[in-house]
Chain A
Amino acid sequence: MDERAAVAWLHRRIGLGLSPAELDAARARGLTAELDRLVHPTDATDPWAGVDVPTDPKAGKAERVRVIAAWLDHLSTTSTPMLDRLAWTLHGWLVSSMDKVRSPAQMVGQVQLLRAQGTGSFPGLLRAVATDAAMLRYLDGADSTAGAPNENFSRELLELFALGVGNYTEGDVQAGARALTGWTAGRSDTRATFRPRRHDDTPQQYLGHSGIHDVDGVIAAAVAQPAHPDFVARRVAREVLGTTDDAVVASLVAAYEAGGRRLDVVVQTAARLAVEGGTDPAPVVLAPVPWLAMIRRSTGAAPPVAAVAKDLRAAGQIPMFPPNVAGWPGGKAWFASSTVVARADLAAAVAGATAQDHPTLDAARQGDLDALADRLGVPDARFSDPTAAALDAAPDPRTRLALALTSPEVVIA
């Protein structure tokens, strides 16, 4: 990858795209400085600053849309793109859904936690998520008591969050459930409470350790398993590099262990491997939400939120509404027909909302396809022949822009 291409690649894989002006500035700084800047975010602003976020689980659709729209706006304009991309990834990893949680404030609280601690210790984040109000509601810890422990969180902590299937027993799931009892949150509480009378303090045999009796012990035992670093490394390798090649995973395991068990360090290591030629990254299909954030950024457009919400539903990805505890299925699942059609509709909404004098629309108007590809962050700044033929044939500049935004070169990073 040459340096110009690498800067664009980085921002699509570990960031959220760039505006034309930002892309020029990033290239002027150079790859090394740009990567350094990406992975050392400063001045993180809260997506919901100044937004009225209801705690009421019975909040209406308009209030929910407002809360989601604030996040989408933030993802499209953030000055800390790696931090926000990571938080987005974590939202599909340490999953809760407003479908069950109901209270918008609880969901916002969880995303704020992912933003605040996503770049810190990952075991620390797991510990915080374990007693996060939204998580206690989503995976039923809130209703779990000493007399009748609920296994939901205990199981998914091991299967989906920290270790992966095959690295624990049913006995571990049940022992963990007992040790995790006592933490609860009401339907509109934004903070969890520990109620000792609901807690089973009996020492448990858990993941090969004895005497585990509380949430701290559960998380510590889980992350002490040999399978944990490999599980984390594989997840990051797949997300950032599109591969789970053994050598790549081994490098990321080493980075995780040496770097204080921080995801941002692993992400940074993965990105360096790719841009410095240590590995050849495989293409990845951008999920609808990060893709939308990127095309908004490269066009400066903010299409009407009602249309966006409808199209994202059709695309299969509404923020804060993951389909189940495993998050969104990625990759080829995004070639679903409804996603393809919804992407075209979203692209048309973005193209329609792009300012007349925006340089990206100007490139579409001039029919300068190399410039258009570059403005849209396509690393080698050119469209393939089939795409170029289709764009040449577009009836008007905004349709040309919409089709460019929907093209494989933009959807696949």
Chain B
Amino acid sequence: MSEPRLPSGPAFSRRSFLVVTAGGLVALALPGCASGGSPSSSADTAVGGGSGTAADVGRARALIVVELDGGNDGLSAVVPADGRYRDARPTIAVPEKDVVALTGTTEVGLHPALAPLVPLWDAGRLSAVRGVGFPDPDRSHFVSMDRWWKADRGGAAPGWLADWLDSAPDGSGPLTATSVNGSAPQLAGSGRAVTTLIDPAGFDFRSPALADGLRALADDGTGGGGDDLVSMARAAMARSVDAVADVQGLVTAAGNEDDLQQTSPFTAGLALAAEIVAAATGPTVVVVSGGSFDTHSGQVATHQRLYADVAAGIAGYFTRAESGGFAERSLLMTTSEFGRRVAENGSGGTDHGAASTTFLAGPAVAGGLHGAIDLGDLLDGDVRPTMDPRTIYTAALDWLGADVEAALGRRYDEVALLQS
């Protein structure tokens, strides 16, 4: 196994779990003691020789996955300075004068609604990865989402983060893995539970008696773990009562609770994600999803609204993380099942395409532009994939100290997306 790129990290064994702080590296919860001990009690097992305080050591890294449902148009998010883009999009190209310039590149600029991300870019804490897609793309939402979720392992394979979750210690209780606004199939197949908030608004019991009653209903005397629906229903009750207790006080901006639908899923979801990570005492994954980016029509207005929400959410997360002292523990990535056709359709939109653009944000990222696309070399009218999504996953799993080969079969590290 090749050595993962981690700050001054020693090689580690397949099932070891790593806590990495700004100051050093700590290996803990090896197989024999995976369920024992709280993370903070393991501070004295530090092997990295780092300068992290005990409080730092108890708080491990967080990965925030921002899923842009519906197939996000990479060309609208990170706009190429390329006449062929404008020729293909006569009515819906981002006007040249509105494109937000990015320091260090004349090749691309940002969609104007993503302007709140510029300070992260300027600080070297944001990267845009272009040409991201599997080499043999599929234009079905559901086939492509499944491939992204399972790192293209197909069939009954678990999600690409399931193996990480299985190896994570019980550090942060029911919020070790949390899904906000959706069901996070990236984490499915783990033996450990995921706290799933289809909609975090109104996540509270009408009366304390209900919480007590649900806890009683959850108790079948077996301690849980059965894989029949009834056992799963009881386990879900126990987990939900715990999650309500944990989430209470964390929800600072559930957002528009009075509407019929969540209208700012990313701002609200990432505000919750920030509080989960701030409070976490162990490694944490939060998946926040929203959309729809399936812009077959009305693309201009939809992007304006959704990108503003995404940018406010990501910028807000890192503002909160800076003030709360957990930015150094945070890596955020966006995903989307595919990009869109280069040429616009007749409905002010674009049909399903192939490669898209992914953002990575956080102090550990190698900031700037990665990957290349060529609008003169399309694949059936779509942006040709040049960067396997598993390259992003390799970086994310390295960040978590997880076993890349177990999750992906091999490392995809031709491009270094994190600082070495």
Q: Are B240 and A340 in contact (CB under 8 A)?
A: yes
What's the nearest-Cβ distance from chain A to residue B300, in Å? 13
Cβ of A274 under 8 Å from chain B? no
- Other contacts beyond A310-B202, A341-B240: 10, CB < 8 A: A140-B347, A336-B179, A338-B202, A340-B239, A345-B206, A389-B219, A390-B213, A394-B209, A399-B213, A406-B214
Q: Least Cβ distance of A124 to chain B in Å?
A: 26
Residues from chain B with Cβ under 8 Å of A394 in the complex: 209, 213
Provided the pairs A318-B260, A341-B203 are in contact, do residues A412 and B233 lie with their beta carbons within 8 angstroms? yes
B239 — nearest CB in chain A belongs to which residue? A337
Nearest-CB residue, chain A, relative to B213: A403
A412 vs B258: C-alpha distance in the bound complex, in angstroms? 30
Chain B contacts of A159 at CB under 8 A?
Answer: 140, 142
The answer to whether A399 touches B239 (Cβ under 8 A) is no
Q: Find chain A residues with CB under 8 A from B213 CB.
A: 344, 390, 393-394, 399, 402-403, 406
Contacts of A316 on B, CB cut-off 8 Å?
Answer: 198-199
Complex Cα spacing A399 to B198, Å: 25
Any A CB within 8 A of the CB of B15: no
Q: Which of A60-102 contact B (CB under 8 A)?
A: 61, 64-65, 68, 99-100
Given A150-B297, A150-B351, A389-B216, A329 and B236 touching (CB < 8 A)?
no
CB of B69 closer than 8 Å to a CB of A: yes
**B232/A150 in contact, CB under 8 A:** no
Q: Let me know if A285 and B195 touch, CB within 8 A.
A: no
Are A61 and B259 within 8 A (Cβ)?
Answer: yes
Check if B210 sits within 8 Å of A345, measured CB to CB: yes
Can you list 13 A-B pairs, Cβ within 8 angstroms, ordered by A? Answer: A68-B260, A143-B297, A321-B260, A324-B69, A332-B229, A337-B195, A339-B198, A344-B210, A393-B213, A394-B209, A399-B209, A403-B214, A412-B230
- Specify which chain B residues have a CB less than 8 angstroms from the CB of A121 in the assembled complex: none
Contact between chains at A348 and B206 (CB < 8 Å):
yes
The answer to whether A386 touches B214 (Cβ under 8 A) is no
B220 within 8 A of A: yes
Q: Give A389 to B348 CA distance when docked, in angstroms.
A: 59
Residue contact B346 to A348, C-beta cutoff 8 Å: no
Indicate whether B183 reaches chain A with its CB closer than 8 angstroms: yes
Interface of A is mostly: helix
Asked if A408 is an interface residue, CB under 8 A from chain B, the answer is: yes
Q: How far is the CB of A105 from chain B (nearest CB, A)?
A: 17
B199 interface neighbour in A144, A150, A173, A314, Cβ under 8 Å: A314
CB of B197 closer than 8 Å to a CB of A? yes
Q: Assess whether B197 is in contact with A337, with CB atoms less than 8 Å apart.
A: yes
Residue contact A403 to B198, C-beta cutoff 8 Å: no
C-alpha spacing A321/B199, complex, angstroms = 13
Interface status of B70 (Cβ within 8 A of chain A): yes
State the A residues within 8 Å of B (CB).
61, 64-65, 68, 99-100, 139-140, 143-145, 147-152, 155, 159-160, 165, 170, 173, 283, 285, 309-311, 313-316, 318, 321, 323-326, 329, 332-333, 335-342, 344-345, 348-349, 384, 386-387, 389-390, 393-396, 399, 402-403, 406-408, 411-412
Ordered nearest first, which 4 A-B pairs have the shortest CB separation?
A148-B346, A316-B198, A143-B347, A390-B216
**Chain B residues, CB < 8 A from A313:** 199, 201-202, 260-262
Q: How far is the CA of A89 from the CA of B207 in the complex (A)?
A: 32
Q: Which residues in chain B, 221-273, are within 8 Å of chain A measured between CB atoms?
A: 221, 228-230, 232-237, 239-240, 243-244, 257-262
Pair B352/A314 contact, Cβ less than 8 Å: no
Minimum Cβ distance to chain B for residue A372 (Å): 14
| A345 CB to nearest B CB, Å | 5
A341 with B205: in contact, given A149-B346, A407-B217 (CB under 8 Å)?
Answer: yes
Are the CB atoms of B214 and A340 closer together than 8 Å? yes
B271-298 interface with A by 8 A CB criterion: 291-292, 294, 296-297
By beta carbon, the residue of chain B nearest A151 is: B351
Give chain B's interface residue range (CB within 8 Å of chain A). 35 or more
Give Cα distance in the complex from A173 to B292, angstroms: 21
Closest to B292 in A: A324
Query: Given A165-B143, A324-B141, A344-B214, A336–B206 Cβ distance below 8 Å?
Result: no
Across the two chains, which residue of chain A brings its CB closest to B179? A336
A170 to B203, CA, bound (A): 42
- CA of A37 to CA of B344 in the docked complex: distance in angstroms? 52
A218 to chain B, nearest CB (A): 17
Contact A386–B183 (Cβ < 8 Å): no
Q: What residues of chain A lie closer than 8 Å to B352, measured between beta carbons?
A: 151, 155
Report if B89 contacts A (CB, 8 A): no
Cβ of B230: which chain A residues have Cβ within 8 Å of it?
Answer: 283, 384, 408, 412
Q: Least Cβ distance of B156 to chain A in Å?
A: 14
Cβ of B196 within 8 Å of any chain A Cβ, yes or no, is yes
Interface residue? B204 (CB, 8 A):
yes
A407 CA / B216 CA spacing, docked (Å): 10
What is the 8 Å Cβ interface bit string for chain B, positions 135-165, against chain A (1 contact, 0 not)?
0000111110000000000000000000000
Report Cα–Cα, A387/B217, bound state, in Å: 5
Residue contact A165 to B140, C-beta cutoff 8 Å: yes
- Interface membership of B40, Cβ < 8 A: no
**Closest A residue to B207 using CB positions:** A348
| B261 engages A310 (CB within 8 Å) | no
Check B197–A338 contact: CB distance below 8 A: yes
Least distance between A187 CB and chain B CB atoms (Å): 11
Roughly how many angstroms separate A339 CA and B214 CA in the complex, as a whole number? 13
Determine the chain A residues whose CB is within 8 A of the CB of B258 once the complex forms. Answer: 61, 310
Is B257 in contact with A310, judged by CB distance below 8 angstroms?
yes
Q: Closest chain B residue to A392 by CB distance?
A: B216
**Given A65-B260, A390-B213, A390-B219, A411-B233 contact (CB < 8 Å):** yes
Complex contacts, B243 vs chain A, CB 8 Å: 337
Residues of A within 8 A of B414 (CB): none
Does A395 contact B197, Cβ atoms closer than 8 Å? no
Give the distance to chain A from B174, nearest Cβ to Cβ, in Å.
8
Q: Which of B139, B195, B260, B296 contacts A309 (CB 8 A)?
A: B260
Does chain A have a CB within 8 A of B16?
A: no
What is the distance, in angstroms, from B46's C-beta to the closest C-beta of chain A? 34
Evaluate contact between A152 and B229: CB separation under 8 angstroms.
no
A313 to B255, CA, bound (A): 13
Residue pair B240, A403 in contact (C-beta under 8 Å): no
Given contacts A310-B257, A399-B210, A403-B217, are A337 and B346 in contact (CB under 8 A)? no
Q: How far is the CB of B302 from chain A (nearest CB, A)?
A: 10
What is the minimal beta-carbon distance from A303 to any residue of chain B, in angstroms?
A: 11
Q: In the complex, are the beta carbons of A155 and B210 less than 8 A apart?
A: no
Distance in angstroms between the alpha carbons of A288 and B196 in the assembled complex: 16
Chain A nearest CB, measured from B133 CB (Å): 15
For residue B401, which residues in chain A have a CB less than 8 angstroms away from its CB?
A: none
Q: Which residues of B contact A318 (CB under 8 A)?
A: 260-261
Assess whether B131 is interfacial by the CB under 8 Å rule. Answer: no
A148 to B381 Cα, complex, angstroms: 14
For residue A346, which residue of chain B has the nearest CB? Answer: B206
**Chain B residue at smallest Cβ distance from A145:** B346
Chain A residues near B3: list those with CB within 8 A.
Answer: none
When chains A and B are docked, how far (Å) is the Cα of A390 from the Cα of B139?
A: 49
